[in-house]
Structure 1
Amino acid sequence: MSPQLPDGEVAPDDGTLPASALEGAAERDLGVYLHVPFCRVRCGYCDFNTYTASELGGGTSQATYAADALAEIAFGAEVLRRSGLPERQVSTVFVGGGTPTLLPVADLAAMVDGVRETWGIAPGAEITTEANPDSVTPESLAALVAAGFTRVSFGVQSVVPHVLATLDRTHDPRRVPDVVRWAREAGLAVSVDLIYGTPGESLADWRASLEAALALEPDHVSAYALTVEPGTALHRRVRSGELPAPTGDDEAAKYELADEILGRELGWYEISNWARTPADRCRHNLAYWRGADWWGVGPGAHSHVGGVRWWNVKHPRAYAGRLAAGQSPAQGREILDGDARRLERVMLGTRLADGFPTAGLDPRAVSTLIADELVTFRPGTITLTRRGRLLADTVVHRLT
């Protein structure tokens, strides 16, 4: 099952944004997220808005998806123009899913070309695609570079076979060094995604995955704690007692190990992300954390422009139907008020290693966080300690 979309007001069929979205727009970056909602198989832990061929049924297919995405790109550009937003070139493009590389590279290239022809892509822009290790070849990676991609993020998750089996991951971990080498030879920057806290994963298993990831000499590593999402196959197995539920102590120990091992060569810049140099940080995700604008293309994709958030209908058939009728694919939206925007600014901004401005924060709360060794202080900013990263929700609660 895919996650439920949030509650919100009804989004207008023409997509027009309120005047409040214009404030400060010229100073904000614009990014584009392209969602590809297809997978060969559904992983047992995943609650993303994705579909296998058997789940799609008739009336929609992977073969026609690029055309649907191009229709939303054109629609989005018209919405921004009609709403009075200034013209801005796109600074980052991120193709996620699902498994984007299930589509032919020509389709991925067509979607990126649509962004380029409609909005324009800034010189030196970051253009990333996610990929499974078993969904690429040397030829397809070279074709991605020819299409303008600069970066690939491989969903490795673990190198331990029994952990991958619990997650229902189908790739052979022995293939990962090859695909990373192919990507480098093609000229792509490489990120590796890992998951910790899988039921049955020992600390030694997690250490093996971290050491293997570091041995790949990646430019970037993301390491996320497993969340057992309701409605997933993994949730059913945990609820039935077949598998143990992850524990906070286990995940904390594994996070500390990740920071220790990855910190040998990479620097943390966001709670779950480490980069070899500042230039290797994921600029697209940084834009999310810094409150930039982005247009999310695809079924279930979320967008944000100037404090307005909206989310598209989930099923590819409904998505394509709305676009064919000339309507916004958005199912709902919310307009963040001042308090909500401040909360979000603290919640996202404190996650970053660059530090969060103390201006406007309660000095007593800041002093208490320093005393509790949850943050370090530099003149004008605070930064989470490793312990603070483990208790980030506590930090945000105290600051708001």
Structure 2
Amino acid sequence: MPSVLPDGEPVPDDGALPGHALAGAAGRPLGFYLHVPYCATRCGYCDFNTYTASELRGSGGVLASRDNYADTLAQEIRLARKALGDDPRPVETVFVGGGTPTLLAAADLTRVLGVIRAEFGLAPDAEVTTEANPETVDPRYLADLRAGGFNRVSFGMQSARPHVLRVLDRTHTPGRPQACVAEAHAAGFEHVNLDLIYGTPGESDDDWRASLEAAVGAGPDHVSAYALIVEEGTQLARRVRRGEIPPTDDDVHADRYLLAEQALTAAGYGWYEVSNWATAPAARCRHNELYWRGADWWGAGPGAHSHVGGVRWWNVKHPGAYAQALAESRSPGAGRELLTDEDRRVERVLLELRLSDGLPLDLLRPPGARAAARAAADGLLDPAAHAAGRAVLTLRGRLLADAVVRDLVD
């Protein structure tokens, strides 16, 4: 697979955490991320830790099978319970991602959720999300998920235009994601997201407007819109390198972002993170906010990353190796790192600046504070927020967010 795990110190076989990791845990939210690494086909732009059936055949045996994957995830959840000891926190968010989680039976997904409920308890208002490929669900499947405790679903739409979907190697039928939103609402889902991608080679401004109009017209309460990134090692990168399709263009990305902001704001959505818009605060993705604010989460599944109290670790990537470790009552962790106070400060700057309420200026060191003052004078940060002690991106600042944050972390 093209993505590479970082180096790190070994993870103990029992997954035990240093004593300081749970200090003050009662004041931090706890979430679970469950990674489902299976896909029916590989999208050309994807570099996630995912596997098709042909890629797994002969490389992991029965242990890598998705038929028993729910049981394997359950083993790691029980390991998490032991590692976290008497931590009394109920789980506030669960997010099932992939891959294509909905290649598993709805009963498998709800069974794994049941293990989290049994081992940790779920907060009364817990947010429980799964990603879904539009072609892998139907009204019955969605109803079963809702009855099993899921209350949020995120559909991968990407584009409303068939020729754009072809470049991305997406296999769903145009119009199917919008139909899924209606089916999810009918099944009783409170919150529904549509994911969009802009800047695909061959996509025009009119194509992007059509995708935005289709997404808004479907009536989700949340829309995510991401610039296409051509990752090394992907089929899309190879096609660009061979000259079959043109590379992505930063100026085009900026223009498409402005179109998204205009269309979504006009339709009643408000940005709360650079790539995410919601109709109300209650419609925001609380699980992602947990990441962006440096809270605690346990990532279960091959290649999944976790963070608890300044300790970050990551699992082995291959489903077979992951299942083998758990079958032997060993942690599937491949490595971990202990974050210093400075590491955590830098991460707060990197992530919180992307949020609509920004970050407190007292997080910045003197060079970063001076950079923030310049950015406010240049219209990249809100001057009123700056005067009140916060760094908050303007619309122009959102377009240049990576450059702004590089200056502020100094």
**TM band (smaller chain):** over 0.9
> Contact between 1:2 and 1:50, CA under 8 Å: does it hold in 2?
no
Is the aligned partner of 1:144 residue 2:141? Answer: no
The worse-fitting range, judged by mean Cα deviation, of 376-385 and 264-273 is 376-385
Cα displacement (A) at 1:40: 0.7
Cα displacement (A) at 1:192: 0.3
1:380 to 371, 381, 389: 389
1:310: which partner in 2?
313
Distance 1:282 1:370 in 2: 28
Is the aligned partner of 1:46 residue 2:46? Answer: yes
Distance 2:175 2:328 in 1: 47
Cα displacement (A) at 1:86: 2.6
Deviation readout 1:190-221 (Å, 9 max, x if unpaired): 10000111111111111111111111121000
2:346 to 321, 343, 350: 343
Alignment of structure 1 residues 42-191 onto 2, 5 Å: 42-57=42-57, 58-59=61-62, 60-81=64-85, 86-188=87-189, 189-191=191-193
Structure 2: gaps spanning 5 or more residues? none
Distance 1:276 1:104 in 2: 31
Cα displacement (A) at 1:356: 1.3
2:242 to 228, 240, 244: 240
Distance 1:262 1:346 in 2: 26
Cα displacement (A) at 1:166: 0.5
Is the aligned partner of 1:370 residue 2:376? Answer: yes
What residue identity is the alignment partner of 1:321? Q
Cα displacement (A) at 1:22: 2.2
1:293: which partner in 2?
296
Distance 2:136 2:262 in 1: 31
> Contact between 1:33 and 1:296, CA under 8 Å: does it hold in 2?
yes
> Contact between 1:309 and 1:334, CA under 8 Å: does it hold in 2?
yes
Distance 1:177 1:291 in 2: 33
The worse-fitting range, judged by mean Cα deviation, of 9-18 and 263-272 is 9-18
Cα displacement (A) at 1:12: 1.9
Query: Structure 1 vs Structure 2: percent identity of aligned residues?
Result: 60
Structure 1: gaps spanning 5 or more residues? none
Distance 2:378 2:219 in 1: 35
> Contact between 2:31 and 2:93, CA under 8 Å: does it hold in 1?
yes
In the TM superposition, structure 1's runs of 4+ consecutive aligned residues that sit over 3 Å from their partners are: none
Distance 1:23 1:110 in 2: 31
2:399: which partner in 1?
390
Distance 1:360 1:311 in 2: 27
TM-score, reference length from structure 1: 0.97
1:12: which partner in 2?
12
What residue identity is the alignment partner of 2:377? A
1:282: which partner in 2?
285
What residue identity is the alignment partner of 1:239? R
TM-score, reference length from structure 2: 0.95
Residue aligned with 2:175, SS: helix
**Count of residues in correspondence between the two structures:** 397
